[in-house]
A and B are shown apart, each in its own frame.
Chain A
Amino acid sequence: MLKSKTFVKKTRSGGVMKVVREHYLRDDIWCGSEICTECKQDSTVLQRDACIESNLCTFPHYLVPDTNVVLHQIDVLEDPVICNVIILQTVLQEVRHRSAPVYKRLKDIIHEQGRHFYTFTNEHHRETFIEREPGESANDRNDRAIRVAVKWYSQHLKTDESGPDGVRVVLLTNDQGNKQKAEDNGLLVYRFEEYIKSLIANTELVDRLALSNEDKNEIASSKILFPEHLPLSKIQAGIKSGSFIQGTFRASRDNYLEATVFVQGEGEDSNEVLIQGLQNLNRAVHQDVVAVQLLPKNQWVAPSSVVLQDEGAAKDDDVDGDEEEKLLKQSLTKSTRKATGKVVGIIKRSWRPFCGMLNVSQIKESTRHLFTPADRRIPRIRIETRQASTLAGQRIMVAIDGWPKDSRYPNGHFVRSLGNAGEKDTEEEVLLLEHDVPHQAFSQAVLSFLPKMPWIITPEDMAQRQDLRHLTVCSVDPPGCTDIDDALHCRELENGNLEVGVHIADVSHFIRPGNALDKEAANRGTTVYLCGKRIDMVPELLSSNLCSLRSNVERFAFSCIWEMNHNAEILKTRFTKSVINSKASLTYAEAQMRIDDTNKNDDITKSLRGLNKLAKILKRKRIENGALTLSSLEVRFHIDSETHDPIDLQTKELKETNSMVEEFMLLANISVAQKIYDEFPECALLRKHPAPPPSNYDILMKAAKSKNVTIHVDSAKALADSLDGAKVDGFQYFNTLLRILATRCMMQAVYFCSGMDSDFHHYGLASPIYTHFTSPIRRYADIIVHRLLAVAIGADSTYPDLMDKHKQSALCNNLNYRHKMSQYAQRASVAFHTQLFFKTRGILNEEGFVLFVRKNAIIVLIPKFGLEGTVFFDSKDKASPKLVFDEEGPTLKVEQHTFNIFDKVKVTISLDDSNIQHQKIRMALIEPVIPGVSVPVPEAEPQAKKQKLDR
């Protein structure tokens, strides 16, 4: 076990600093193979009969991929067919430096025991370490290190098992030079494609291969279509000198020949550069970070209002583009010209696998097809597949491999199929993927950090916690809730004051900082709730069992306990880790019934009544302080228990008990926020809600004015008061509509790190400080807050990342992003279910209100369904009516009728499924009747569909 030898590695970094590090070589690093008798290893990973059936290798063999194979072909490596693979440390380190996502995926495979992936620490092995030679590049050295390790393995295994039935080692590389050298060294080496194609009965893996350079050459036409991208060094120099601008490329949704590059400036000072035309777009893909050069001013153009979709077929590559570009040019007027530029280079690609559908090539034998992504901002991708006929009509995922300058479309490869288009599971998968919601099953590595079952509370646990099992704690949640984050209690103390406790699931007890489980949760950031489906942030064992504060079981909690007087004034606050035993898990309705039922006088009910009384006082105080009560319609679907199709929908209704629970959660969050900020002024994770700029309220004020109501927006308090006072006789729904509009004026609340910001105010809650503490099962921010609080009260230890404001700030960015995406996904899910619902309902006629007025349309809200839809007054196939838009109102005059905001209308609702990738709800006007615009009242819904439902 002694160190064998000392080597010195010298690296130069930054200015001129000579860094010297020791590098120990060992002779106790084992090979990890079952057949080895020489190595004194406790356990082995690589199997004796390592067999992947292959035409090329008919003998047992281990695979050694090089770095580029891992980086580019991770999709294939992830397939369970590939097993018994040796991952060299050299490769692992290079992957780690070059791509964090691939590194994570590789680590997940390594952790899966069934896959038999072994990490060989070759850089520290006495016989496989090599030093860089003079004149050798770092890459060449690593390639050589890989060959040396492969050589070592083949010799090492040969001597152990005599005869030809020994296991051989196969190096997989796509680098010609490396392959040649390996062959010269007498190693068994194949190109990755070569090897995968040789696999028997796994032909579908071939489709998943990323295209290597040679294949690309084959496809591309000889004609060069795009200007060359500049090398990174030139780009950097250009950005420094100001001749190029760096920004994020945002493709236009409506026009494939147009994009904007968003340039992040100082503070609010950001601007956009317009890019038009294929040549100028120069192969940039949505969300790439690109370098842009501005065109001379006389070439600047205005954004076109034309809708253009790339409909070109695969073969007539470059022709159609030019035609359409001409179309673009016509639409420019001088006044609206914007800064226009062209893409000169790509700084960072943000390619991910894209969802979409295959356009099967008209040529039957062709294996090359175009793929149309669901996201219109992503260009079509050319892929090669032999299973086109099967894949047609399916939603599939495709990854981009590259975009050569002589190819009209990027080249990519098939990753996997998601299922038939239009099916519920498939569409759910698509919307999760498109909103970047991590939803794959938890990896073995993650699961390995779960507590072992049966889980019991040990005396040591009890010693560190306060025993609160005797308290009458209960939880109040929506029906069917299995991840119960919070529970409450209230009791009278001997001195006449009230003790109120909020008990939050102690998730941070189970999720320790830095382990795989923690990293996964941090990445997911939040649990995502779709209609009838939940994508957990933490594995179910925790979310629905060990952390969930269910009734009549002992659970760990993090408790926030106040002593209050009867005026709900806080006298004392304390925080403690505790053990509780909830006496009841109630729904909002059940809790409400208990409170209302005067016959009931048990402890739970008394506790609830106490809470309710205090909550009302708290709410009143909060509103007096200027907290806003806003409104948005939330829809609940009644899902058929068998088919899982939505059969009815209703808007969520709020009970007194909802607000009771909410009040105490707010109070706990504020108390905790104050505590962690006091303790860690530099690194407390808080949540703020910035006040919106006054201009945001324009639409609200105009809308209110149209009904002769004045809204004051000088402060949150003024807004809240004027909303409360806003009433129109005979129009009950007016106030709700106004609140819905006000909600739209608000800014997004965000997480931030206290050391990186100075404005902490939460506008909506009118609280100077706020955080999230009460839902650690479904929000990662709460876990961090729990950890901070635990450190603050000395119940847990800190770790470096927790105290690092920059890391925490980066974490906040991720959480904000995940939070936003989860909301989008949720909305998309509701929209999809709404579509499903209307699909089964046929055509419906409903009453609604005008929410917004646009130049050519009105947006209508149907309160019954909480559904918003657009009624267009112009369409392609019909002459449009006379439209007069007045921005001041805003009003829209259609022929003789003028639409105001809040007007009551009647519409017919139907599903437009003409485009299978983009189905949508279509609304048409019935009332008021405008000749040539409104439609006649359609027939009642067809009977057939109803029967189907009754089944």
Chain B
Amino acid sequence: MATAQVSEAEKVYILHGIRDDLRVDGRGCEDYRHMEVETDVVSNTDGSAKVTLGHTAVLVGVKAEIGKPRPMIPDEGYLEFFVDCSANATPEFEGRGGEELGTELSNTLYKVFNNQHSLDLRSLCISPGEHCWVLYVDVLLLQCDGNLYDAISVAIKAALFNTKIPKVHISSDDEGGKEIELSDDPYDCMRLDVENVPCMVTLCKIGHRHVVDVTLQEKACSVASLVISVTHKGVITCTRKVGRGSLDPESICEMTEAGKRVGKALHSPLMKLLQQEESLGKKRQKVGFLG
């Protein structure tokens, strides 16, 4: 659920534990919960990934469509984000209940991912000013148990890694008219370079400590948190304070440092995992939701 109710006694217990770097589930402050990543789970998308982090579960599908480049940047394609906070995650999201959270999440995703630094958007351009690839990145929230940003960012990175965009070539005639022809060979496709795609790390200030990957109970004890996006080189591309409380500048600096450290460490096992999965090719047994 999006929020959990925690009693005073529980709060004290959690706070005391964190003070001693021992969380309710036995983790230290900078430890993630068990994370599972699987790609290519929805066969009619161009790329997809499913990520579970504790009880948080997200599914990301990427669909490539041919669109018109933005007038200001005619030689780049672009990404579109949509976050569907489905009622499956919690009855609170029923009807239009999930829209607010969804908009908040997708706005952040635009800022973090839709720029030349994280993805080579020029490679998505087909013919400048006329045609480009638009990647629709749709995030489906299936279960919320805290730390949505991190789970979503990992899933997006994995899904983009998995994305296969059909190769097109443009035939032009004497009059300058252009026609887009899709390759007839299904194996003939373009892959994206996801090396610079950042991951997001959310740090919660609980008591005096900064905690990574909080559960809902822990979140209830926190006053405010900071979301930062970090590339594999440790470059911070975006920070954002979320939550109702306030933070002093000092702890923001500390949290940024901690986030950088954690984020940097997140990338290499993820890439390793993705490449390993990719190398299995067709032999891989798909698990999806059946496992």
* Chain A residues at the B interface, C-beta cutoff of 8 Å: 8, 10-12, 15-16, 18-20, 132, 134-138, 233-234, 237-238, 240-243
Given A8-B43, A18-B44, A18-B46; A241-B184 close (CB under 8 Å) = no
Binds A, one of B19-27, B175-183, B227-235: B175-183
CB distance from B84 to the nearest CB of A (A): 20
9 cross-chain pairs, A with B, having the tightest CB-CB distances, nearest first: A237-B173, A241-B175, A134-B187, A20-B44, A20-B43, A10-B186, A18-B44, A12-B182, A241-B173
B182 / chain A contacts, CB cutoff of 8 Å: 12, 16
Q: Does B45 contact A (CB under 8 A)?
A: yes
A237-B43 in contact given A15-B66, A16-B64, A138-B184 (Cβ < 8 Å): no
| Complex contact B65–A15 (CB within 8 A) | yes
Knowing A12-B166, A16-B66, A18-B46 are in contact, say whether A233-B184 is a contact too (CB < 8 A): no
By a beta-carbon cutoff of 8 Å, the part of chain B in contact with chain A is 43-46, 63-66, 166, 171, 173-175, 177, 179, 182, 184-187
For A136, list chain B residues within 8 Å (CB).
Answer: 185
Chain A hits for B186, CB < 8 A: 10-12, 132
Q: Which residue on B lies nearest to A132, using beta carbons?
A: B186
Taking a contact as CB atoms under 8 Å apart, the answer to whether B171 and A233 are in contact is: yes
Shortest Cβ gap from B113 to chain A (Å): 21
- A554 CB, min distance to chain B CBs, angstroms: 57
Question: Which residues of chain B come closer than 8 Å to A233, judged between CB atoms?
Answer: 171
> Once the chains bind, are A18 and B45 in contact (CB under 8 Å)?
yes
- A237, B173: Cα distance in complex, Å: 6
Measured CB to CB, the closest approach of chain A to B185, in angstroms, equals: 7
B185 touches A135 (CB 8 A): yes
**Residues of the B chain whose Cβ atoms lie less than 8 Å from the Cβ of A234:** 173
| A16 touching B173, Cβ below 8 Å | no
CA distance A241 to B174 in the complex (A): 8
> Total number of A-B contacts with CB less than 8 angstroms?
47
Per DSSP, chain B at the interface is: loop
Closest Cβ neighbor of B183 among chain A residues? A12
Write out the residue numbers on chain B whose beta carbons fall within 8 Å of the beta carbon of A240: 173, 177
The minimal Cβ–Cβ distance linking B153 to chain A, given in whole angstroms, is 25
**In the bound complex, what is the Cα–Cα distance between A10 and B46 (angstroms)?**
11
- Set A18, A134, A237: member contacting B179, Cβ < 8 A: A237
Question: Considering only CB atoms, which chain A residue lies closest to B184 in the complex?
Answer: A138
From A12, A134, A137, name the one whose CB has the most chain B CB atoms within 10 angstroms: A12
Complex-state Cα separation, A135 to B187, whole angstroms: 7
Complex formed: what's the CA distance from A561 to B182 in Å? 60
In the assembled complex, which residues on chain B have CB atoms less than 8 Å from the CB atom of A238? 173
When chains A and B are docked, how far (Å) is the Cα of A178 from the Cα of B204? 67
Residues of A within 8 Å of B174, CB to CB, are: 241, 243
Please determine whether A237 and B65 come into contact, CB atoms closer than 8 angstroms: no
Closest CB of chain A to B283's CB: distance in Å? 13
Please indicate which of the listed interface residues A16, A137, A241 has the most CB atoms of chain B within 10 Å of its own CB: A16
Q: Tell me the complex Cα distance, A548–B159, Å.
A: 69
Task: Given A15-B65, A134-B187, A137-B184, check contact A241 B177 (CB 8 Å).
Answer: yes
Shortest CB distance B168–A (Å): 8
Contact B175 A16 (CB under 8 A): no
CB distance from A745 to the nearest CB of B (A): 45
Give complex CA distance A16, B65 in Å.
Answer: 6
Q: Which one of B63, B64, B173 has the greatest number of beta carbons of chain A within 10 Å? A: B173
Cα A154 to Cα B174 with chains together (Å): 53
- The distance from the CB of B207 to the nearest CB of chain A, in whole angstroms, is 49
Closest to A242 in B: B175
Chain B residues with Cβ below 8 Å from A138 are 184
Docked pose: A233 CA to B64 CA in angstroms: 26
By a CB distance below 8 angstroms, the chain A residues around B43 are 8, 10, 20
- Residues of chain A with a CB closer than 8 A to B66's CB: 15-16
CB distance from B278 to the nearest CB of A (A): 15
Q: Give every chain B residue within 8 A of A241 (Cβ-Cβ).
A: 173-175, 177
